[in-house]
Amino acid sequence: MMKNYVKDRYELAAQTLSKKLERRNFEVIICQDLEAAKKSALRMIASDKTVGFGGSITVEKSGLIEALYQRGQQMIDREKTETPEERHRVMKQALTADYFLTSINGISEDGQLVNVDSVGNRVAALTYGPDKVLAFVSMRKVYGDVETTLEMVRKNTAPLNAHRLGLEKTPCIKKGNCGDCLQPECICNTIVITRRSMVKNRLAIFLLLEDVGL
pLDDT digits over 107-152, tens only?
999 999 999 998 899 999 999 999 999 999 999 999 999 999 999 9
Q: Is the pLDDT of residue 93 over 90?
A: yes
Mean pLDDT for the chain? 92
Exposure string of 105-134, with b = 16+ CB inside 10 Å and e = fewer, is bbbbbebbbbbbbbeebbbbbbeebbebbb
- Cβ count within 10 A of residue 23: 11
Q: Is the pLDDT of residue 1 over 70?
A: no
DSSP 133-160: EEEEEEGGGB-SSHHHHHHHIIIIIHHH
Overall average pLDDT of the 200-211 stretch? 96
Q: Per-residue confidence at 55, pLDDT binned at 50, 70, 90?
A: confident
| Prediction pTM value | 0.92
Domain chopping of the chain, boundaries: 4-208
Tell me how many degrees the CA angle 199-96-75 measures, rounded to the nearest 5: 115
Residues 6 or more apart whose Cβ sits within 8 Å of residue 182: none
User: What is 4-208's CATH superfamily?
Assistant: NagB/RpiA/CoA transferase-like (3.40.50.10420)
**CB of 138 within 8 A of CB of 212?**
yes
Overall average pLDDT of the 91-100 stretch? 96
Amino acid of residue 175? K
**CB of 12 within 8 A of CB of 191?**
no
Q: For residues 29 and 14, what is the distance between their CA atoms, to the nearest angstrom?
A: 10
Per-residue pLDDT, 94: 96
Q: What percent of the chain has pLDDT over 70?
A: 99
Per-residue pLDDT, 45: 98
The tens digit of pLDDT for each residue in 161-184 reads 888 888 888 888 888 888 888 988
Overall average pLDDT of the 42-66 stretch? 94
Phi, psi of 56 (to 5 degrees): -155, 115
Amino acid of residue 76? I
Top-confidence residue, 162 or 192: 192
